[in-house]
């Protein structure tokens, strides 16, 4: 990258030259029409050609700039994946399989789609685990009624189908310390049932469902209650689902776990190379993984060896 | 006649509100007691680690005597605390005894680097550290519940219902004296 003379940019000289020539020819032609007193419909042709040429010129310049930015984004994104040891996994037909494992993937009455699946590994102080980070998109279809009024003042009630699009993001991790338990910010109601912790503020913000109260009480130690509350403040729509197979699906609405956040781009290749050569920092991803590690740390048995696999 | 209905309606609303406020105060008081029971439960879980610690203490010959004395003091402090009665002085004694015992254990472990690396010692230290984290969190939840309860009896119209019917007194939150004194500051009102 250092072979490129800074700053790197598209070579627009040909485009500029062509645009200038066409515009000049158009202006000269228009001038000749004017001098010769030609006022037939063809006289607007040079103006139309100039307008179209300028339109194409602006479009080309903007699309080239956008392509440049998007290429920098792609390179930076690949660099982040590399730094965190993340691998993109094919997502075809995965949503249905996940829906069989977690309720979090049974959302949407019209369509469900897994848009992204990244596979990585986390090395904590006490536990190591593999994880899948995903982007799940689902669509709800509903029919709504609306009224229209025509020019004569007649009011008609009509119906139309509306598609609401939603995105969820999260992690899937093998978690052997809790089963059949769901802790969620949604599904709260005034007459909320389910297990209640000893924290008034936790009960106000979270709904806990478990097969047995013992399972919930054992897992939700005071330390984890505070940790989950803190995670709930940092994330929107937090949902933690521990299924019967010993897997955790930790999901939320926030899409910025892997933030773009690059400082430089291809416009400045030397600084950009230096930036991607260093270890990129993804604070939200780090916090989420640290949170999962904390869940493991405070729910394991200290007198057994910590997990180092899966 | 209409005025009578209005007065009757208002009376019913006031009674229902009074009952709701009264029940709310009792519910929040129960949450304080429950959070307190959690604190004591986690303090008592230290008892599980004490036999293992006593066994370990024999390995640290120079520190054995003081370690065993600290463990006994901690066991005695834990034994005095009650899950049903909120008494933050008992908690302060347990926390002080724990701090002394943990500090003594750490000194002993540092003096015997070979033993420090043993699996049992590491597991014990991890267990004690996690227990302390859970106790700190339980105390934080307890204090937070106290804040909700105290506000619930001090704001109007709850204060009126409390003074007439519920007669609850505000709880004193637990303050870690060691932390407060190391900070050298405690909030005070302007005179």
What is the C-alpha to C-alpha distance for residues A173 and A204, in angstroms, rounded to an integer?
27
DSSP state string for A62-117:
HHHHHHHHHHHHHHHHHHHHHHTT-EE---TTHHHHHHHH-GGG---SSEEEEEEE
Tokens of A124: 């904590």
- The separation between CA A196 and the C-alpha centre of its own chain, rounded to angstroms, equals 33
Q: Are B132 and B49 in contact (CB under 8 A)?
A: no
**CA of A211 vs chain B CAs: smallest distance (Å):** 22
Q: What is the pLDDT of residue B147?
A: 92
Instruction: Count other Cβ atoms within 10 Å, centred on residue A219.
Output: 22
Note whether B130 contacts A201, CB cutoff 8 Å: no
% chain A with pLDDT above 90: 47
Return the top range by mean pLDDT from A160-169, A204-213, B86-95. A160-169
**CA of B96 vs chain A CAs: smallest distance (Å):** 20
**Helix (H/G/I), strand (E/B), else coil: B63:** helix
Cα distance between the two ends of chain B: 55
Q: pLDDT confidence of B161, banded at 50, 70, 90?
A: very high
**Average pLDDT in the A103-131 region?**
93
Phi-psi bin for B73: left (phi > 0), alpha (psi -120 to 50), beta?
A: alpha
What is the C-alpha to C-alpha distance for residues B129 and B98, in angstroms, rounded to an integer?
11
What is the C-alpha to C-alpha distance for residues B185 and B183, in angstroms, rounded to an integer?
5
pTM of the model: 0.79
Note whether B126 contacts A126, CB cutoff 8 Å: yes
- H helical segments located in B61-118: 64-80, 88-111, 113-116
Mean pLDDT of chain B: 83
**Helix (H/G/I), strand (E/B), else coil: A181:** strand
Residue A188 has pLDDT above 70, yes or no: no
Q: What is the pLDDT of residue B81?
A: 81
Strand positions, DSSP E, A175-238:
181-184, 207-210
Q: pLDDT confidence of A265, banded at 50, 70, 90?
A: confident
Residue A243 has pLDDT above 80, yes or no: yes
Q: Which of residues 144-173 of B touch A (CB under 8 A)?
A: 144-145, 148
- H helical segments located in A121-221: 200-205, 213-219
Return the top range by mean pLDDT from A187-191, A298-302, B142-146. B142-146
What is the C-alpha to C-alpha distance for residues A111 and A138, in angstroms, rounded to an integer?
6
ipTM: 0.77
Q: Is A230 on the interface with B (CB under 8 A)?
A: no
Q: Are A283 and A261 in contact (CB under 8 A)?
A: no
What residues of chain A lie within 8 A of the CB of B42, using their CB? 222
Q: pLDDT confidence of A237, banded at 50, 70, 90?
A: very high
Cα distance between the two ends of chain A: 39
Note whether A225 contacts B137, CB cutoff 8 Å: yes
Residue A79 has pLDDT above 50, yes or no: yes
What is the C-alpha to C-alpha distance for residues A240 and A170, in angstroms, rounded to an integer?
9
Residue B157 has pLDDT above 70, yes or no: yes
pLDDT, tens digit, 9 for 90 and up, residues A3-14: 666 667 778 888
What is the C-alpha to C-alpha distance for residues B36 and B172, in angstroms, rounded to an integer?
12
Q: Which of residues 107-146 of B touch A (CB under 8 A)?
A: 123, 126-127, 130, 133-138, 140-141, 144-145
Lowest mean pLDDT among A44-58, A128-142, A190-204, B28-42: A190-204
**Average pLDDT in the B53-81 region?**
80
Instruction: Give the residue, A36 or A180, on which the prediction is more confident.
Output: A180
What is the C-alpha to C-alpha distance for residues B91 and A196, in angstroms, rounded to an integer?
24
What is the C-alpha to C-alpha distance for residues B43 and B63, in angstroms, rounded to an integer?
24
Q: Are A202 and A229 in contact (CB under 8 A)?
A: yes
User: Which of B126, B127, B137 is opposite residue A222, by nearest beta carbon?
Assistant: B137
Q: Single out the residue of B133, B132, B162, B135 nearest to residue B149, CA to CA.
A: B162
Residue of chain A minimizing CA distance to B132: A223
pLDDT, tens digit, 9 for 90 and up, residues B128-154: 888 888 888 999 999 999 999 999 999
Residue A83 has pLDDT above 80, yes or no: yes
**Average pLDDT in the A227-241 region?**
94
Q: pLDDT confidence of A310, banded at 50, 70, 90?
A: very low
Q: pLDDT confidence of A90, banded at 50, 70, 90?
A: confident
What is the C-alpha to C-alpha distance for residues A223 and B132, in angstroms, rounded to an integer?
10
Q: pLDDT confidence of A161, banded at 50, 70, 90?
A: very high
Residue with the two structure tokens 């293992």: B52
Q: pLDDT confidence of A119, banded at 50, 70, 90?
A: very high
Residue B98 has pLDDT above 50, yes or no: yes
User: Which of A221, A226, A297 is opposite residue B140, by nearest beta carbon?
Assistant: A226
Return the top range by mean pLDDT from A60-74, A123-137, B70-84. A123-137
Long-range contacts of B71-79 (CB under 8 A, 24+ apart): B71/B101, B73/B97, B73/B100, B73/B101, B74/B46, B74/B50, B74/B98, B74/B100, B74/B101, B75/B47, B75/B50, B78/B43, B78/B44, B78/B46, B78/B47
Count A/B contacts: CB-CB distance under 8 Å.
52
User: Which of A126, A200, A221 is opposite residue B134, by nearest beta carbon?
Assistant: A221
Note whether A302 contacts B138, CB cutoff 8 Å: no
């Amino acid at each position: 990258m250092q072979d490129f003379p800074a700053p790197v940019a598209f070579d627009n000289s040909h485009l500029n030259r062509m645009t200038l020539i066409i515009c000049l020819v158009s202006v000269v032609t228009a001038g000749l029409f004017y001098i010769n007193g030609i006022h037939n419909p063809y006289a607007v042709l040079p103006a139309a050609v100039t307008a179209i040429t300028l339109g194409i010129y602006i479009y080309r310049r903007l699309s080239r700039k956008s392509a440049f930015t998007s290429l920098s984004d792609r390179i930076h994104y690949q660099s982040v994946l590399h730094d965190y040891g993340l691998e993109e996994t094919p997502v075809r037909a995965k949503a249905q399989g996940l829906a069989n494992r977690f309720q979090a993937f049974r959302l949407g009455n019209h369509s469900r789609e897994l848009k992204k699946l990244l596979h990585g590994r986390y090395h904590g102080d006490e536990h190591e685990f593999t994880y899948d980070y995903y982007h799940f998109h689902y669509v709800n279809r509903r029919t709504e009624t609306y009224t229209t009024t025509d020019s004569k003042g007649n009011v008609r009630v009509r119906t139309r189908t509306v598609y609401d699009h939603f995105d969820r993001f999260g992690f899937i991790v093998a978690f052997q310390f809790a089963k059949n338990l769901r802790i969620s910010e949604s599904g709260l109601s005034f007459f909320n049932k389910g297990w209640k912790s000893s924290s008034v503020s936790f009960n106000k913000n979270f709904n806990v469902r478990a097969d047995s109260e013992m399972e919930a009480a054992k897992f939700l130690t005071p330390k984890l209650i505070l940790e989950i509350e803190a995670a709930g403040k940092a994330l929107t729509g937090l949902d933690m689902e521990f299924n019967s197979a010993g897997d955790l699906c930790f999901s939320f609405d926030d899409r910025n776990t892997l933030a773009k956040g690059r400082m430089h781009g291809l416009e400045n290749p030397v600084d950009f190379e230096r930036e991607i050569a260093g270890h990129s920092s993804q604070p939200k991803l780090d916090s989420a993984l640290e949170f999962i590690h904390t869940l493991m740390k405070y729910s394991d048995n200290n007198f057994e060896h910590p997990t180092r696999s899966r | 006649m209409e005025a009578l209905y209005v007065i009757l309606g208002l009376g019913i609303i006031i009674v229902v509100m009074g009952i709701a406020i009264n029940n709310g105060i009792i519910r929040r008081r129960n949450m304080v007691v429950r959070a307190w029971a959690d604190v004591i439960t986690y303090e008592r879980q230290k008892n599980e680690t004490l036999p293992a610690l006593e066994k370990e203490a024999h390995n640290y010959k120079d520190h054995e005597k003081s370690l065993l004395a600290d463990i006994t003091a901690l066991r005695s402090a834990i034994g005095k605390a009650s899950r049903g009665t909120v008494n933050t002085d008992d908690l302060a004694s347990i926390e002080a005894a724990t701090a002394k015992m943990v500090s003594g254990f750490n000194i002993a472990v540092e003096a015997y680097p070979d033993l420090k690396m043993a699996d049992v010692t590491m597991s014990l230290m991890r267990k004690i550290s996690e227990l302390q984290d859970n106790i700190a969190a339980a105390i934080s939840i307890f204090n937070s519940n106290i804040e909700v309860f105290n506000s619930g009896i001090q704001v109007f119209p709850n204060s009126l219902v409390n003074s007439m019917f519920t007669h609850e007194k505000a709880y004193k939150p637990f303050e870690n004296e060691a932390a407060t004194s190391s900070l050298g500051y405690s909030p005070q009102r302007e005179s």
